[in-house]
Structure 1
Amino acid sequence: MRKHMKMMAAGCMALTVLAGCGGSGDDSKTIKIGVDYEQTGGVADYGKAHVNGIKLAIKEINKKGGVNGKKLELVVADNKSEITEVGTVTTKLMTEDEVVMVLGPATSGNTSAAINVANKNKIPVISASATANNVTENKDGSVTKYGYKICYSDNYQGEALAKFALSKDAKRAVIVSDSGSDYAKGLAESFKKEFADGSGTIVASKSYQTGDTDFKSILTSLKSESFDVMFVPGYYQEAGPLVKQAREMGIDAMILGPDGFDSENFIKQAGNANLNNVFFSTHFSKVGENQKVKDFVKKYQAAYDKEPGCFEALGYDLAYYAADVIKRAGKDVTPETVNKALGDTKAKFSGVTGSFTMKKDHTPDKVITVVELKNGEQVSAAEVK
């Protein structure tokens, strides 16, 4: 715990120093990067995890000498999980703090809000976890000039999960989703189409509202249906109690979920004993023999006294990707040279969450990992594309 406190204290001191720093031109000894994440509010778990990973990576990069002879400095801001606050925070980072790029936010809605500000100020934003299909698109469908992400999109994720279900010989599925979530809607639609294309049948679709905790009426209505898999496109806050209640009511079919399941709180809320025959897509898994992953896990544990999860790993990769982009931007590091380097579709990046190249639509060409839980522990991981 002492190491964790030292690291956090160092982060706080860095913020104090940053307040008096100038830009990132040739005469500067540092390059400033904005960090715009949900560190309080409804999805603080995701934001804080990203920031921990980012800070660890930047500490490592600077220890090795930084990039092109300059240290990287983080200007960290809390958007409070609120879209209105995202606009305020992102604007300040770009116009007052003079960053060359902004990392974050975590959710798709907040990232879209940040990209709107990015387009006005011509400073790029890169999200590690904004999976919504249209995050990097303008309203007319064209690709936004200053918005990027290093994670797969929901339509790709939903399709991959349907393919995975079919590979497990699932023929009949039910879907239980959040009626007010664009994230859930996108996942459900792409899952339905791919599952049907693979000769699967959706026998029932049910919905709940964000913040619901009692799913017994929905689950009772499903008990009369015959199905092989229950697909729950949603976040851990509702998915945890839903899975717990499903198992307690005797529903033992395979349960399949998206990356929104990937939180320690999902395990806590569902209970380890209820997490068997449960699978979810993720950007990162500790299962396997990948040495790069093992090294990251070891370093993260040393820094924070706990194991990293998906979003810590995404934050870590995002910071290293940002450093790679800055290196490719050359000696004159400006928002425009950084943006040009971000748009390079030939540059390959390899991190703990996998390897990718950036496509013309500013999304990565990347595989999806689906992990299996047994008694709440990840026991296997399969790549799906």
Structure 2
Amino acid sequence: MKKKFACFAMAMVMVLGLAACGGKKEEAPAAPAESSNDASVSVFKVGTIGPLTGDAAIYGQAVANGAKIAVDQINAAGGAIQFELQSQDDEADGEKSVNAYNTLMDWGMQVMVGPTTTGASIAVSAQANADRTFMLTPSASSVDVIDGKDNVFQVCFTDPNQGVASADYISENMAGTKVAVIYRNDDAYSQGIRDTFVSEAAAKGLEVVYEGTFTADTATDFSVQLTGAQSAGADTVFLPIYYQPASVILSQANAMGYEPTFFGVDGMDGILTMEGFDTSLAEGVMLLTPFSADAEDERTQTFVKTYQEQFGNTPNQFAADAYDAVYTYAAALEAAGCTSDMSAADICEALVGVMTTISVDGLTGQGMTWDASGAVSKAPMAVVIENGTYVLP
């Protein structure tokens, strides 16, 4: 079956403004600029939490790296708001993530970028809410992370947003296609996107002909799911999953000669840099992402160049979201009139009061705003993988 190479961009129309425990591995804190000795300068302690080791390390390392670049830039600019950064490893585990959070609190963390993954963020958000520590996760997209917590916000767009946007695009641009869905039913991220996708697909008259599930323990053999999708006549396979199982699916589909259009979401980001993966297997894969390293605007290119020089590889959207999170803190702390001698709890209350009033221009969205639920307002775009790179419209 011939693959379809198509992509789209959703318009982002907002008012422009300013603008992932234990501590198994700890990155050296990023020092504030020399001008921080000035009494008029406030140096805030910001911590990141994510999987710096383990299977999901590509995500946590990207978050730590993206945050570091933002901290370095802000400090070098010599403004009144500056940062000291420390990153902690949670191996994408909820219990270890809470331990990492406690380690950062012992260090004196005042604001948090993270955790990186959804499960860890759900665990930490409950603790941060009880402690009144402000939490801005760059990449945990489940609504369960922010639900009922007035001090927890997201930089990434939510799972419902991704599910709805994917269904809308497929129904509007791939008329008559038959869709199969393969998702991980023991993962809040995957399950959440699947739920909204299926609901929106039904509302739009999109035909879902097959659904197959897997768990963390069964993510090595997808022959049953792929055979089911192929037998049902699916010419598009929606994958609301992370890149590791997606790489196995692509490899096994290729081996059995099944060539649908594979359509993923932001968790697919990272597949092109996955060690040992043949990127030719991803040719024609589509995915939703708020960031492309191939974008030609000056800010993105500067970020990409700096990232490549410092870390030796190309940044993904997790790095970009973390970068935007730090700049969001700079905007919010200034808007709230916070100073670094304030307690984390006092800073939290101040930021809760201004988050719905600020607008931030970032790498992952122009004029980003937040509502009282903690969700960000920005739109995803779709890209297609061609010749080992993301291609924009």
TM-score (norm 1): 0.85
Q: What's the CA shift for 1:268? A: 5.2
Q: What's the CA shift for 1:215? A: 1.5
Structure 1 CA distance for aligned equivalents of residues 174 and 296 of structure 2: 28
Q: Which residue of 1 aligns with 2:16?
A: none
Q: What's the CA shift for 1:93? A: 2.1
Q: Which residue of 2 aligns with 1:282?
A: 289
Q: Which residue of 1 aligns with 2:46?
A: 33
Residue type of the alignment partner of 2:48: V
Q: Which residue of 1 aligns with 2:150?
A: 145
Q: What's the CA shift for 1:275? A: 1.8
Q: Secondary structure at the residue paired with 2:228?
A: helix
Q: Which residue of 2 aligns with 1:363?
A: 375
Q: What's the CA shift for 1:66? A: 4.4
Structure 2 CA distance for aligned equivalents of residues 315 and 66 of structure 1: 20
Structure 2 CA distance for aligned equivalents of residues 204 and 331 of structure 1: 52
After TM superposition, list the pairs within 5 Å mapping 1:195-344 onto structure 2. 195-211=201-217, 212-264=219-271, 271-333=278-340, 334=342, 335=344, 336-344=346-354
Q: Which residue of 2 aligns with 1:5?
A: none
- Relative distance call for 1:13 and 1:47 in structure 2 (3 A) is closer
Structure 1 CA distance for aligned equivalents of residues 162 and 137 of structure 2: 17
- Relative distance call for 1:188 and 1:270 in structure 2 (3 A) is farther
Deviations 1:23-53 (A, max 9, x none): x9x7996321122222123322110110011
Q: What's the CA shift for 1:298? A: 1.6
Of 348, 352, 373, the residue aligned with 2:363 is 352
Structure 1 CA distance for aligned equivalents of residues 363 and 339 of structure 2: 29
Q: Which residue of 2 aligns with 1:106?
A: 116
1:76 equivalent in alignment to 2:87: yes
Q: Which runs of 5+ in 2 are unaligned?
A: 1-26
Q: What's the CA shift for 1:152? A: 0.9
Q: Secondary structure at the residue paired with 1:58?
A: helix
Q: Which residue of 1 aligns with 2:392?
A: 380
Q: What's the CA shift for 1:203? A: 0.7
Q: Which residue of 2 aligns with 1:7?
A: none
CA contact (8 A) 1:253 1:277 kept: no
Structure 1 CA distance for aligned equivalents of residues 137 and 277 of structure 2: 28
- Relative distance call for 1:133 and 1:338 in structure 2 (3 A) is closer
Residue type of the alignment partner of 1:58: V
Q: Which residue of 2 aligns with 1:6?
A: none
Residue type of the alignment partner of 1:305: G
CA contact (8 A) 1:241 1:270 kept: no
Structure 2 CA distance for aligned equivalents of residues 279 and 267 of structure 1: 17
CA contact (8 A) 2:151 2:352 kept: no
Structure 1 CA distance for aligned equivalents of residues 350 and 175 of structure 2: 45
Shifted more, 49-58 versus 215-224: the winner is: 215-224
- Percent pairwise identity: 27
CA contact (8 A) 2:210 2:228 kept: no
- Relative distance call for 1:359 and 1:36 in structure 2 (3 A) is same
- Relative distance call for 1:308 and 1:298 in structure 2 (3 A) is same
1:12 equivalent in alignment to 2:12: no
Structure 1 CA distance for aligned equivalents of residues 272 and 392 of structure 2: 20
Structure 1 CA distance for aligned equivalents of residues 239 and 230 of structure 2: 16
Q: What's the CA shift for 1:73? A: 0.6
Of 62, 65, 78, the residue aligned with 1:49 is 62
Residue type of the alignment partner of 1:248: A
Q: Secondary structure at the residue paired with 1:40?
A: coil
Q: What's the CA shift for 1:168? A: 2.3
Q: Which residue of 1 aligns with 2:74?
A: 61
Q: What's the CA shift for 1:326? A: 2.0
Deviations 1:181-217 (A, max 9, x none): 1211111111111111111111111112225222223
Q: What's the CA shift for 1:87? A: 1.6
CA contact (8 A) 1:102 1:125 kept: yes
- Relative distance call for 1:206 and 1:13 in structure 2 (3 A) is closer
Residue type of the alignment partner of 1:57: A
Deviations 1:270-291 (A, max 9, x none): 5222222210111211344322
Q: Which residue of 2 aligns with 1:128?
A: 138
Q: What's the CA shift for 1:302? A: 2.1
CA contact (8 A) 2:183 2:213 kept: yes
Residue type of the alignment partner of 2:129: N
Q: Secondary structure at the residue paired with 1:219?
A: helix
Structure 2 CA distance for aligned equivalents of residues 270 and 254 of structure 1: 19
Residue type of the alignment partner of 1:372: V
CA contact (8 A) 1:343 1:358 kept: no
Shifted more, 229-238 versus 264-273: the winner is: 264-273
Structure 1 CA distance for aligned equivalents of residues 276 and 213 of structure 2: 20
Structure 2 CA distance for aligned equivalents of residues 63 and 147 of structure 1: 28
Q: What's the CA shift for 1:367? A: 0.6
Q: Which residue of 1 aligns with 2:9?
A: none
Q: What's the CA shift for 1:133? A: 1.9
CA contact (8 A) 2:222 2:252 kept: yes
- Relative distance call for 1:61 and 1:235 in structure 2 (3 A) is same
After superposition, the CA RMSD in angstroms is 2.3
Q: What's the CA shift for 1:294? A: 1.5
Q: What's the CA shift for 1:176? A: 1.0
